Amino acid sequence: MSDRHRLPITSPADLITAVPYLLGFHPTDSLVLVGLSGSTVAVVSRTDLPDPADAVDWADEVMPQQLRMLRHADVTAAIVIGYGLATQVTSAVDTVTSRLHTAGFDVFDALRVTDRRRYFSYLCQNPTCCPIDGMPFDPDRSDLALHAIVAGHTTLPDRQALIASIASIDGPARTAVTRATYQARARRRALSAQGGRGALIRAGEAIVRETFTRYANDQVLTDDELAWLTVLLPITAIRDAAWRATDSQLWHVALWSDITRRAQPDLAAPPASLLAFAAWRSGAGALASVAVDRALQANPTYTLAQLIDRMLREGLPPAVLDGWLDQSAPTTP
């Protein structure tokens, strides 16, 4: 868990209030697994709830990945949270809790949240802290919510809103970028004919440098500049120059979010993959996941997107690449 995700969690209500900020959206009809390393939230993951009758088959499919994620994050205990009605949640929570115990993990608590205003514990039997009709809480009045907002955390209504936040632009803005991309493709063909691959790489490295300079100063690329960048990013050497410049800073996430949204849809795989990488490095796993999906929709065979997708599915923590820029940069077609 990155420093920007450190929130003062001291109770189940605090944890439930924190989860949307840790995910980036409010989970609904979801099973959330919170992994603890000591007293620190090390990892948070979310999956859709299964049909109650399919809970065992669903767990057979999702739990191996979840267990690898917990082990990679050096998790010592877990908290299971189901979001929805008891008829939807209970079988999934019971199955996951059993699998965690079998795998050797302590389960600190197993909770169900309904209507974002009341939670129930499956493990606590004390009516004082865990009444049979649930414990009410108000996330909007929580000190933790205020702390999260001040710290720069954001949360969207649901996962669909997160997907929409990086969806392709439309309307007149799309028309303008389409026109600019047509011109940029012609410019690339002319430059290639004149100077070959070397000229393309030099031009690509220049626009990558300009892109990072622009966004570092809270500015964005013009449509013509963005189109030029996106027609050159499919060249592996240029994409890798952008990859080496990308890390966990929040403005890197903003940079690649903007370019992913504005890029011509058939050119979205490279910027969406770089967005996924930046989001993953910053600890925003949910955004990384939807960015990978966007990249693979644009190009199902794009190797960098497949690589990041595999890292996410294996639950590798962002810390595995700490210091990666000090080593020879990876090159992936």
For residue 103, being part of any structural domain is answered with yes
Residues 6+ away with beta carbon under 8 Å from 189: none
Quote the CA–CA distance of 109 and 77 in Å, as a whole number: 9
Domain identity same for 175 and 99: no
Q: Which two tokens stand for residue 261?
A: 């949204």
Residue 229: band (very low, low, confident or very high) from pLDDT cuts 50, 70, 90: very high
Instruction: Determine the straight-line distance between the first and last CA of the chain, rounded to whole angstroms.
Output: 29
Asked whether residue 172 falls in the same domain as residue 321, the answer is yes
Angle at 81 between CA 161 and CA 153, to 5 degrees: 45
Q: Which domain holds residue 215?
A: 166-325
Q: Are residues 35 and 130 in the same domain?
A: yes
**Same domain, yes or no, for 171 and 310?**
yes
The reply to whether 333 falls in a domain is no
Q: Do 250 and 220 fall within a single domain?
A: yes
Q: Residues 162-166: what's their mean pLDDT?
A: 93
Whether residues 7 and 137 fall in one domain: yes
Please count the structural domains in the chain.
Answer: 2
The answer to whether residue 332 sits within a structural domain is no
Same domain? For 14 and 125 the reply is: yes
DSSP 8-state assignment for residue 167: S
Cα 182 to its chain centre, rounded Å, is 31
pLDDT tens per residue, range 306-324: 999 988 887 777 766 666 5
What would the pLDDT profile of 18-59 be if each residue is shown by its tens digit? 888 888 888 999 999 999 888 788 888 999 999 999 999 999
Q: Is there a single domain that holds both residue 249 and residue 317?
A: yes
Write down the pLDDT at residue 216.
Answer: 95
Q: Is residue 331 part of a domain?
A: no
CATH number at residue 48: 3.40.140.10
